[in-house]
Amino acid sequence: MQKRWNIATINKEKTEEVFQDLHINKNLCSILVNRGIDSYDKAKNYFRPALEHLHHPWLMKDMDKATTRILKAINSNERILVYGDYDVDGTTSVASMFQFLFAVHKNVDFYIPHRYREGYGVSKAGIDFASQTNCGLIISLDCGIKSVELIAYAKELGIDFIICDHHLPDAQLPAAIAILNPKQPGCNYPYKELCGCGVGFKLMTALAEKLQLPPESYLQFLDLVATAIAADIVPMTGENRVLAYYGLKKVNTNPCAGIKALMELAAVQKEMFVSNLVFIIAPRINAAGRMDDAKKAVQLFIEQDCDKAMEFAEMLHSDNTDRREADSNITVEALALISADERLVNRKTTVLYQEHWHKGVVGIVASRLIETYYRPTIVLTKSGDVVAGSARSVSGFNLYEAVHACREHLLGYGGHFAAAGMTLLPENVEAFSQRFEEVVNAQITSELLIPELVIDAVISFKELTLPFYNIINQMEPFGPENMRPVFVAKNVKESGHSRLIKDQHIKFHLKQDNCSYTGIGFNMAAKYHLLQLNHPLDIAFTLDINEWNGEKNLQLKVCDIRLSE
């Protein structure tokens, strides 16, 4: 697929200032400046994250109210229900908070809503469960900020709510005892981008202070916090980066029994990074809710016995295998439907509906289809008597607004800039599909229909050294707003030894002036003909290390190539 290259501009003045302070490669200095690291002190905090850099939890609005109400429940032996969503952020939040409270207060339970019977967020069934089990207090994590009516219903039943959430609130806030959400109006907490598990972590930090518990009482859950940060795709900046940094240390040295079991099943041999949490741990956790019941993800994380934890991990591993088979089969079907109909091929959107498709994977399938047809995509399936589906956007296009413009055809919808979900009647699918195409066609630019490759710096092969690579590694953990740097080397020549691997991938042998490097380009076979033109090339890549027979050598992980101008 063709990509549009967006090469970052350089602030020469600031770059020179940072270079004078750090004395490292100027290209790295320009990357740091573009990421807001434009002074010695900021660089020190960036390269040497410390738990002392975390903000005091008491800066968060309602923190005093929340801790006072929880302490009241503990002192009066009131039953507490810890409630969270069925995704990674929700289940890790619940597992952390439940264990923290259980250590000081045995009268506590947890609840995860069923994805298909109850849907996202706080549910009436969950509140009824709290009532039936005599819970006087519900602590919701990663959800609740929009549940005005349901929290009012809980209040009628005599149940108080403490909300720990990170989603944008509506104009009307729920009538909870306390709302912990840095994004709510009037909250002066300095860092606004915590995930749900991160907000829960701040509540545990404050409670530990009130209860005079040692830091380990909440720091022991950093591996779960890091997993939530990685999976929820929140910015890898500020507190998130500090929490992820120390969470990964715990993952790699002393993970909880649940994460350890998942790593064993995935045959993890090397050091874990954020990317491993995203692609190895998170899918197995999410699969529980997609294919069955996410409650067992919490059971996995709170289990102390390694053998029992392995049993739960095997259940999640099996769910993930089923999920992979389902999304693979549906993706093949979906691509065949598009390619068989010229009208579908030439649209600005993809909207597909098949009754038999598994509801738990339609969002994943939508993302897969965008890899082939880069455009806003909706995949629909039958759910009871209605049609339900998930939508995914392309970078820079507001998907939620487009779905909102089609609301006359929908029973319900929700989401954000990049993703959305909706329900509608079967007889309205065609009208909705046509309207969605009209709306997107009127709003989207041709540029947004070409995937963007953000390039951090233009570099020469001679600058690529092991010390240079080691500094890049110190920029970990990588994630949104702190991605692994992408470089471009211009006027590079193919040495004559590049080859195709399994007709899918390219093994590159490249040279620039007197420097030569090998590289790998996954799923780039369609660009192999450019190497055969004997014309200088521009190569976009990230840096990687290749270990072979005990030797470590730098190699390029090629993202894209094009003919030099």
pLDDT of 1 strictly over 80: no
pLDDT of 362 strictly over 90: yes
Instruction: Tell me what pLDDT residue 120 has.
Output: 79
* Inter-residue contact 127 to 138 (CB < 8 Å): yes
What confidence tens digit (pLDDT) does each residue in 313-349 have? 999 999 999 999 999 999 999 999 999 999 899 999 9
pTM for the full predicted model: 0.92
Residue listed under structure tokens 């609130």? 169
H helices of 12-158, in order, are: 12-22, 26-34, 40-47, 63-75, 88-102, 124-132, 148-156
* Inter-residue contact 539 to 558 (CB < 8 Å): yes
Q: Which domains does the chain have, with CATH numbers?
A: 4-48+453-563 (2.40.50.460), 57-317 (3.90.1640.30), 349-443 (3.10.310.30)
Q: What angle is formed at CA 182 by the lines to CA 177 and CA 187, rounded to 5 degrees?
A: 75
Other beta carbons less than 10 A from residue 222's beta carbon: 23
Instruction: Tell me what pLDDT residue 2 has.
Output: 84
Residue listed under structure tokens 């701040």? 202
Q: What angle is formed at CA 367 by the lines to CA 363 and CA 372, rounded to 5 degrees?
A: 145
**Alpha carbons 79 and 102: distance in angstroms, whole number:** 11
The DSSP line for 395-448 is: TT--HHHHHHTTGGG-SEEEE-SSEEEEEE-GGGHHHHHHHHHHHHHHH--GGG
Instruction: Tell me what pLDDT residue 418 has.
Output: 87
Residue listed under structure tokens 């954000």? 416
Residues 6+ apart with CB under 8 A from 274: 226, 229, 230, 236, 244, 248, 476, 477, 478, 479
- Average confidence (pLDDT) over 384-396: 93
**Alpha carbons 30 and 479: distance in angstroms, whole number:** 18
* Inter-residue contact 503 to 522 (CB < 8 Å): no
| Candidate from 47-51, 126-130, 264-268, 301-305 with smallest mean pLDDT | 264-268
